[in-house]
Amino acid sequence: MRKFLPRFRGPIFWAKTVQSVLLCAIVVAMLGAGRSPFDRIGHQLICTCGCGQILLECNHVGCTYSTQEIAELRTQLANGASETAIQQWFVAKYGATVLSAPLRGGFDNAAWIVPTVVFLLATGGTFLVVW
């Protein structure tokens, strides 16, 4: 006769599970920690030359757009503007397409919520079909 796995797995299994979950939560929480404001903001903006790359990572030879925008970013930081104010300044000058991710709030929340909901519904639907 075939033995089935017991439902109760024991305290060692649950201790390792809790440790794994806590480790994952700490790693996610520490992503981006210790970066300078220049790096944080520069990685939240896109170069406007049309390449679609992050501003600080635009690697076009002689790209005047990225050098100009990086200089503007340095100027804004030197003036003591906050990160939100700098983002709003770039949006006012270049439009919302300069942001690498939509801002939180208002209708932009849909850009954060809809993909997650669709993924969860697709996963649940796939589970039901397979089951």
pLDDT tens track for 18-72: 999 999 998 888 876 667 888 888 888 998 888 888 888 888 877 888 889 999 9
Segment 73-78 shows an average pLDDT of 92
The partner residues of 99 in beta bridges, in order of sequence, read 45
Q: Are 47 and 59 in contact (CB under 8 A)?
A: no
Give every CB contact of residue 117 below 8 A, 6+ residues apart in sequence: none
- For the chain, what is the radius of gyration of the CA atoms? 22
At 3 the pLDDT is 61
Retrieve residue 84's tokens: 């939100």
pLDDT tens track for 1-19: 456 555 667 888 888 999 9
**Cα 126 from chain centroid?**
26
Nearest partner of 86 among 102, 97, 99, judged by Cα: 99
Residue scoring higher pLDDT (24 or 106): 24
Give every CB contact of residue 63 below 8 A, 6+ residues apart in sequence: 47, 49, 51
The span from the CA of 80 to the CA of 37, in Å, is 11
